[in-house]
Amino acid sequence: MSVQNRTILTRFLIWRLKHISHRQFLYILSIVVGFLSGMCAVVIKNGTHIIQSVLEGTLIRDYQTAFYFIFPLLGLTIVYFIIKYLVKNTPTQGIPATLYAISKKKGVMSSFQMYASLLLAPITVGFGGSVGLEGPTVATGSAISSNLSRMLHMNQSTRTLLIGCAAAGAMSSIFKAPIAAIIFAVEVFSLDLTLVSLIPLLLASVSAVITSYFFFGNDIILPFSITDKFTLSDLPVYALLGVVAGFVSIYFTITFERIQKFFDKFSSPLKRLIIGGLGIGILVYFIPPLYGEGFDMINALVNGNTDPVLKNNIFHLDIANPWILISLLVGLVVFKVIASSLTFGAGGVGGIFSPTLFMGSIMGFCTAKIINATQILTNPVSESNFTLVGMTGLMAGVLHAPLTAIFLIAEVTAGYELIIPLMITAAISFTITKYFSPHSVYAMELGRKGELITHNKDHAVLTLLNLENIVEKNFVILEPEMKLGEIVHQAVVKSKRNIFPVVNKENNTLEGIILLDDLRPVMFDQSLYDELKAEDLMKNPPAIIQLDRDKTTEVMKKFQDTGSWNLPVLSNEIYCGFISKSKLLTAYRRKLIDYAEK
């Protein structure tokens, strides 16, 4: 930033402090963030549609389906070169990147993330990558919000809230569902829903949805209209759908995680590109409905149109037979998550929100088809309603966001006629998935590392603490060969602490510790000054804090289990200092005050 620009910004900030309160300024920023998130959605969505319509609408229709194999690999290759030579940073995936920024980086996101997904997501999806655009839109809006907050000198709590506003704005703009967007921000980003946070979220969501209406008119991404009424006799089959959704969610989570771990073994991005690109190309060639986001497929199924299932299919199967159709639908559910995982593994940029909706809609439609084909019920169930509710069930399970799932479908259908089956299916699916998989696909990696912010306030505050900042180093270090006389005159006399680390100076490793209480029985007996050494007096510490591995929650548990007030700290087996329980609790109280102000 130039000196002149810095001066203008400084003058603005001074003027703001004099004339606009913090709360008023927060409201203004939330509107701005909502608008910017809405614009990100417009740019990403339109860019994707332009690419997709040119490629799929002309080349594939007028020439041959072999392009289904070529385009995904070509798009991922373009993404690879843009990352290598233009962005020069590897963008982390959408919402997980935002969660990591909140949990471990105090809401700070790199500036390149403001434009990386804006460039890369439309290319990934437009060329046939089997992922969605919601995650990149949220990440782009969140990065803009984070950097804007830093530029305007907002504190951590305000920065986190504005990131939540960006997420709400992105989802509100995409689906034109402002209430569901607010719930999404609260559920996924673990924001506290208070009056302080509610109004900025509302303003951002409304600002974004107005932006969406301005550019897209009344068109919505999921134009549903409920025609079949819900009856109480349908409750058992919707409960069954919830069970099916739960186990499909578990399949989604396990498959996604294993494929990501497989690609993590390859250090070369080029190897990942070749393996993932060829894999997604083969899948899309044989199963063309896996191309891109798949919202056309979802809308067709809601309206009872199954033609897209066999779109450009090389097998030319007859879907007049319901069991052939059901088999094809099951295949789409099975392979969609594989296609999405391969896209991510190859270096594509996208999200899993759309794949979840895609799989959920087909799962619901397929379940209804099976029930109707077997004629186990006197009256057939509504395939359209099951398609809608199926999306809710899978969102609740895969994303661990049951309320978002319920209100999203309720809002996009412009009514609450299905609110009871939505609630039943979402609750059952979420409960089953939560039992087997404690963390959502978004948060699984952070959850395993203990770095995830949750609605558990104690856990959230401990997660936000930085252990390195509370390590104390004002301890007199002893060597194993030091004699008792040296310990008394060089350590006990000079130190204000009652604990002494014994460290091997050659490799700086901790050998043990000596407490002042261990020295009192012998320190006044001068006849022992030349006989006893530090290695004779030292003992093992009750526990050791591994700075490179232990999380704050684990450190707190070590203090509780041992009853100690000081524990030694190692980093890669190298002695660093001590952490005291009193300093840890003081840092916790300060962070709790900051967190409570969000």
Does residue 209 share a domain with residue 117? yes
Return the pLDDT at 159. 87
**CA distances from residue 445 to 186, 285, 584 in whole angstroms, order as listed:** 20, 31, 26
Return the pLDDT at 203. 95
Last residue of a domain, one of 164, 185, 216: 216
pLDDT tens readout for residues 285-312: 888 888 888 888 888 887 777 776 665 5
Return the pLDDT at 60. 58
Task: Report pTM.
Answer: 0.76
Does residue 196 share a domain with residue 305? no
Return the pLDDT at 449. 47
Examine residue 118 and state whether it is found in any structural domain, yes or no. Answer: yes
- Mean pLDDT over 580-589 rounds to 78
Does residue 263 share a domain with residue 141? no
Does residue 416 share a domain with residue 286? yes
Return the pLDDT at 454. 47
Are the CB atoms for 438 and 569 separated by under 8 Å?
Answer: no
pLDDT tens readout for residues 421-464: 999 999 999 999 999 887 777 766 555 444 445 444 555 555 55
Evaluate if residue 413 carries a pLDDT over 80.
no
DSSP 8-state symbol, 491: I
pLDDT tens readout for residues 312-363: 555 666 666 778 888 888 989 999 999 999 999 998 998 888 999 999 999 9
Evaluate if residue 391 carries a pLDDT over 90.
yes
Does residue 351 share a domain with residue 242? yes
CA nearest to 404, candidates 551, 133, 205? 205
**Which CATH number belongs to the domain containing residue 584 in this structure?**
3.10.580.10
What SS3 class is residue 501?
A: strand
pLDDT tens readout for residues 550-572: 777 788 888 888 888 889 999 88
Tokens of 134: 């919601």
CA nearest to 369, candidates 404, 401, 323? 323
- Mean pLDDT over 110-122 rounds to 89
Evaluate if residue 56 carries a pLDDT over 80.
no
Examine residue 334 and state whether it is found in any structural domain, yes or no. Answer: yes
The percent of residues above 90 in pLDDT, for the chain, comes to 29
**CA distances from residue 575 to 11, 325, 506, 513, 554 in whole angstroms, order as listed:** 47, 64, 12, 12, 19
CA nearest to 565, candidates 472, 476, 459? 472
Last residue of a domain, one of 216, 247, 266: 216
Q: How confident is the model at residue 58 (pLDDT cuts 50, 70, 90)?
A: low
Are the CB atoms for 306 and 319 separated by under 8 Å?
Answer: yes
Q: How confident is the model at residue 471 (pLDDT cuts 50, 70, 90)?
A: confident
Cite the DSSP H helix spans in 88-226.
94-104, 116-126, 134-151, 156-175, 178-189, 195-216
Distance CA 393, CA 299 (A): 17
Does residue 80 share a domain with residue 44? yes
Evaluate if residue 68 carries a pLDDT over 90.
no
Q: Phi first, then psi: give them for residue 579, nearest 5 degrees.
A: -115, 130
Return the pLDDT at 421. 92
Return the pLDDT at 533. 86
Evaluate if residue 97 carries a pLDDT over 50.
yes
**Which CATH number belongs to the domain containing residue 82 in this structure?**
1.10.3080.10
Please state the domain count of the chain.
3
CA nearest to 537, candidates 582, 502, 496, 564? 502
- Mean pLDDT over 237-253 rounds to 95
- Mean pLDDT over 164-168 rounds to 92
Using alpha carbons only, give the angle 369, 375, 381 rounded to the nearest 5 degrees.
50
pLDDT tens readout for residues 480-507: 888 888 888 888 888 888 888 999 888 8
Does residue 471 share a domain with residue 402? no
Across 62-66, 150-154, 420-424, least confident range: 62-66
Last residue of a domain, one of 170, 191, 216: 216
- Mean pLDDT over 151-168 rounds to 88
Q: How confident is the model at residue 6 (pLDDT cuts 50, 70, 90)?
A: low
Examine residue 199 and state whether it is found in any structural domain, yes or no. Answer: yes
Domain enclosing residue 465, as ranges: 461-596
Evaluate if residue 213 carries a pLDDT over 60.
yes
Examine residue 360 and state whether it is found in any structural domain, yes or no. Answer: yes
- Mean pLDDT over 246-268 rounds to 91
Q: How confident is the model at residue 38 (pLDDT cuts 50, 70, 90)?
A: very high
DSSP 8-state symbol, 483: B
Does residue 508 share a domain with residue 417? no
Return the pLDDT at 460. 54
Examine residue 78 and state whether it is found in any structural domain, yes or no. Answer: yes
Does residue 420 share a domain with residue 350? yes
Does residue 487 share a domain with residue 589? yes
CA nearest to 163, candidates 100, 93, 89, 92? 100
Q: What is the mean pLDDT of the chain?
A: 83
- Mean pLDDT over 211-232 rounds to 79
Does residue 585 share a domain with residue 481? yes
Q: How confident is the model at residue 414 (pLDDT cuts 50, 70, 90)?
A: low
HSE, side-chain direction, 13 A CA sphere, residue 87: 23
Examine residue 249 and state whether it is found in any structural domain, yes or no. Answer: yes
Examine residue 322 and state whether it is found in any structural domain, yes or no. Answer: yes
Using alpha carbons only, give the angle 168, 220, 35 rounded to the nearest 5 degrees.
35
The percent of residues above 70 in pLDDT, for the chain, comes to 87
Examine residue 82 and state whether it is found in any structural domain, yes or no. Answer: yes
Does residue 44 share a domain with residue 18? yes
Higher pLDDT, 587 or 86: 86
